[in-house]
Amino acid sequence: MESIDYLKILVEDIHSTVVATIGKDGHPVTRCIDMMLYDENGVYFLTAKGKEFYTQLMGQKYISLSAIRDQKCISLSGKVENIGSQKLDEIFEADPYMQKIYPGDTRSALEVFRIYDAEGNFFDISNPSHVKRGTFTIGNAKIRLSGYFIGEGCTGCGACLPVCPQECIDISKIPAVIVQDCCLHCGRCVPVCPEKVIRKVG
């Protein structure tokens, strides 16, 4: 899937997310925030100017969020910027319930934020015997390689395959290949490798 497909799932299918910032005491603070819109430039949400969340967003300019629904999960971490009232009317048109929460001109208490230059992860366990993973980016963010990889020196013995919960190791190749889109990152393959050529990255 493309990045825009993952953003569609986040906004349209899941919608409600848990967003983390850092509080005054230096500890993480979370709250539930709906993701309202998305496009090729990022994901958009809003909050009221009087909230502590607003102050944290303005000062920290970075957030992380997680969202789950129907056994599909998306995590996203990246930069955030205030775009004022841009897209505010569009958000209210797309989500009529907002008109009941902030009727009339009370919407002036709200400002819109855009998540950009962000890295995301997708995890789907709706079919437990065949999980699916994915990574994606928004803007200039780069995917940070992570997971388990089989290196040179693999003999193709196949010792890793029986211990893999998802059986997602292709031993028809040498070196064998861990199918990253299905890997649980459990690490069970590492100790059974007789050549010690499976490594964790990230």
Q: Tokens 């002036």 map to which residue?
A: 108
The span from the CA of 24 to the CA of 27, in Å, is: 7
Name the residue with tokens 């292709």.
170
Task: For the domain covering 3-138, report its CATH number.
Answer: 2.30.110.10
User: Could you tell me the end-to-end alpha-carbon distance of the chain, in angstroms, rounded to an integer?
Assistant: 23
pLDDT digits (tens, 9 = 90+) for 84-140: 999 999 999 998 899 999 999 999 999 999 999 999 999 999 999 999 999 999 999
Instruction: Quote the pLDDT of residue 174.
Output: 95
Peptide bond into 128 cis (omega under 30): no
The pTM is what?
Answer: 0.89
Residue 111 C-beta-side C-alpha neighbours within 13 Å: 14
Q: What percent of the chain has pLDDT over 90?
A: 94
3-state secondary structure of 57: helix
Residue range 145-202, CATH number:
3.30.70.20
pLDDT at residue 202, as a whole number:
85
Q: Which tokens is 137 given?
A: 């980016």
CA distances from 48 to 80, 103, 131, 142 (A): 15, 14, 38, 31
> Rg for the chain (alpha carbons), in Å?
21
- Tens digits of per-residue pLDDT, 63-91? 999 999 999 999 999 999 999 999 999 99
pLDDT score, position 145: 86
Domain spans, the chain: 3-138, 145-202
Nearest CA among 80, 60, 202 for reference residue 139? 80
Contact 130, 182 (CB under 8 A): yes
Residue 171: count other Cβ atoms within 10 Å of its Cβ: 16
Residue 13 predicted with pLDDT over 90: yes
The residue to which tokens 């309202």 are assigned: 36
Look at residue 67 in the predicted model and tell me its pLDDT: 97
The burial class, CB within 10 Å (0-12 / 13-18 / 19+), for 96 is exposed
Helix (H, G, I), strand (E, B) or coil at 21: strand
Burial class of residue 50, CB neighbours in 10 A (0-12, 13-18, 19+): exposed
